[in-house]
Copies of this chain bind each other. A is one copy, B any other.
Amino acid sequence: MARRQLARHASPRSDQSVEDGGESKSEQTRKRILDAAAHILSVKGYSGLRLTDVASVAEVQAPAIYYYYASREELIEEVMWTGTAETREHTVAALEVLPATSEPKDRLLTAVEAHLRHMLEISDYSKAAIRNAGQVPESIRKRQMREEEKYGELWRRLLSDLSRSGELRAEYDPYTAQMLMMGSLNWVLEWWDPRRSSVDSLVVNALAFVASALFGGQTARSKRSR
């Protein structure tokens, strides 16, 4: 969905020859530039990102970047926003297919799995957004911060539903529990190595971890029906 939104911002000239997947050459180049910027931002940081490096990774001439982005700042702004926006949309979509009668515990674990899988799938964007959140000037982060706020609101609702149904362990401050949980998920970007364990095994461990931490174990669910 976010990809479609991004395309909307693309240059008017993007209606030139439409290639495979329905994306014009222009849209593909734009995407290649954005991907390159996400990668460089994740390893070099905000101050270290140079447009010549972006151009080299994206295999375009440096001035071509200005055809798509008015400035270095605008390019970085879009990387920061994209990672957060896409992950939120992915999680929202995963929740939307659940039956209306689904339990708070199932909703929470569905969101955990969607968040984790998508974050790893677009890991350059996720790393760029997370590692630079404390370094990029706030003026560039406005759109991302609105996105973070909406996403935080979604998690707050999941936690408060869990709390109201009496399933969240009583000793927690719900906001603190939420952020400790988000930390265990987001930090995965810093250590997980696909050569060492599969995404599926990571997800199984993370679901057990969150379930145990917040409400005493996923597998105990049936025994605890109220």
A169 → chain B closest CB, angstroms: 6
A183-B185, A184-B181 given; A209·B172 CB < 8 A = yes
Q: Which of A30-51 contact B (CB under 8 A)?
A: 42-48
Q: Are A176 and B202 in contact (CB under 8 A)?
A: yes
For A135, the chain B residues whose CB sits under 8 A away are 43-45, 48, 131
- Sample of 22 A–B contacts (CB below 8 Å): A44-B47, A45-B132, A45-B135, A46-B48, A48-B48, A131-B131, A169-B208, A171-B204, A172-B209, A176-B197, A179-B188, A179-B191, A179-B192, A180-B187, A180-B188, A181-B184, A182-B187, A183-B184, A183-B188, A184-B213, A187-B187, A212-B213
Residues of A within 8 A of B (CB): 42-48, 127, 131-135, 169, 171-173, 176-177, 179-188, 190-192, 197, 201-202, 204-206, 208-210, 212-214, 216-217, 219
